[in-house]
Amino acid sequence: MWHFKFTRDKTFRQPIVWLTTSFMIAFHVGAVVALFFFSWKAFLLALLLWWVAGGLGIGMGYHRLLTHRGYKTPKWIEYCLTVCGTLALEGGPIFWVATHRMHHQNTDREGDPHSPHDGALWSHMGWILTGQTMHSGANELLRYVPELRKDKFHAWISRWHWIPLTALGAVVLAFGGWRCLLWGIFFRTVIGLHSTWLVNSATHMWGRRRFATPDNSRNSLWVALLTFGEGWHNNHHAHPQSARHGMKWYEIDPNWYGIAILRMLGLARNVKINRAEVGEGASEGSPVEVKAAQTIAPGWVLAADPPERAG
């Protein structure tokens, strides 16, 4: 059972990173202002861009493709998904992928960049706003992403990740006006940020555990709905390289549906799916034991013998 004692939260024992914090404050203020300038056109634009950035970009791109290599695509698809990911204001691919691989290597123990063991607020957003915030050039991160460092596009977009969002903001303002800017950029981005952060915080504190992983990861329907399927976090930690996180028909996983469509169109191949079945007696109180996993790269693991399916 989690006890929230903010005085012990690591967030309040670290110096504030003012550049990052200033941008976050500005975007949150813009999100609040958006509530006073509602229009259906702006709202629908926000929904579309929320999916583009959070679903295509973060879920299908940064996470399942770049971080865990759960499937392969032509380079132009990979790069398009990466650009979509930059629209989420979560940094470039090198920073995002390296941080997540580090999380998998040290989940809920020393070395985890955002564990609730260091405080609920810290795991949600404190690790971004305070302390020695890591960046794409930090030595402790670079060793986690050797393949991305060698790719000229990923190296470039990691340095200039703010350009696509800035350009999108200018286009939205020019063709949609202030309401669309407030909703499509500010409000949408803030909702997307907190949705992603809930995977780091909420799904390591509340929810059901299907698999007896050595961490505190949990499955959460409501986080899955906010993140297009990333909330089935216990499933993911048990089988990290699986491109499908929702392992049962009722576990809604739009990011998997997107990958399946790409495969159907011949744009995704070597799609890795874990076929582990949950025993009849499995429940929140009796999670299934996970088979030993083998480390295949610093910061991430591949569940033993995952089957591959060519698209």
Residue extents of the structural domains in the chain: 6-309
Q: Is 271 helix (H, G, I), strand (E, B) or coil?
A: strand
H or E segment to which residue 302 belongs:
strand 300-302
Residue 99 to residue 278: CA distance in whole angstroms: 30
* Amino acid type, 79: Y
User: What is the distance between the alpha carbons of residues 60 and 257, in angstroms, rounded to a whole number?
Assistant: 10
| 3-state secondary structure at position 297 | strand
- For residue 286, the model assigns a pLDDT of 43
Q: In this structure, what are the phi and psi dihedrals at residue 189, rounded to the nearest 5 degrees?
A: -65, -45
- Residue 106, Cβ density class (10 Å: 0-12 exposed, 13-18 middle, ≥19 buried): middle
**What integer pLDDT is reported at residue 278 of this predicted model?**
39
Q: Which residues of the chain have pLDDT under 70?
A: 1-7, 132-138, 275-311
CA distances from 153 to 90, 105, 162, 307 (A): 18, 26, 14, 30
What is the rounded CA–CA span in Å between residue 203 and residue 310? 31
- Helix, strand, coil distribution of the chain in percent, nearest 5: 55, 10, 35
Dump pLDDT digits (tens) for 5-26: 555 888 888 899 999 999 999 9
pLDDT at residue 12 in the model: 87
